[in-house]
Amino acid sequence: MSETRRPAADFSWATVGSEPVLRLQGVLTVWTLGDLLPRLQAAVQERPPVRVDLGGVVQADSAALALLVELARQSVAQGGPAPFFAGLPAKLRDLVRLYHLQDVLSFDAVA
């Protein structure tokens, strides 16, 4: 049996006006976030995002939700506002509601 290759999780930065926007893309699951997390944490430590765009995410699970909570926690711990999360996939929006995190994560209602 051959091993199935999972698409990588990745991120990039953009600036909208003067606000830093973190763009997440690819597959954000327990299987892919291990490689991404250290690089992402270092980048966010340097430059906390005001907005996180998840429009490029093709698959996500509860590990992705934990990542969003950590991004919000880290931004607030650095003295900034919690970021606004745009383009959440339907599954992540459902998980936010299931775990009653609407007061923790600010996001658009429809992706």
Residue-number span of the structural domain to which 40 is assigned: 10-105
Number of structural domains found in the chain: 1
Contact 72, 83 (CB under 8 A): yes
The token pair that represents 11 in the structure block: 């991120």
Q: Which is it for strands 19-28 and 10-16: parallel, antiparallel or unpaired?
A: antiparallel
Task: Return all residues near 55 (Cβ < 8 A) that are at least 6 apart.
Answer: 23, 86, 87, 111
What CATH number is attached to the domain comprising 34?
Answer: 3.30.750.24
In a domain, 3, yes or no: no
- Which pLDDT band holds residue 8 (cuts at 50, 70, 90)? confident
Amino acid 89 reads P
Tens of pLDDT along 32-72?
Answer: 999 899 999 999 998 899 999 999 999 999 999 999 999 99
Mean pLDDT for 77-93 is: 93
Q: Which pLDDT belongs to residue 70?
A: 94
pLDDT of residue 93 exceeding 90:
yes
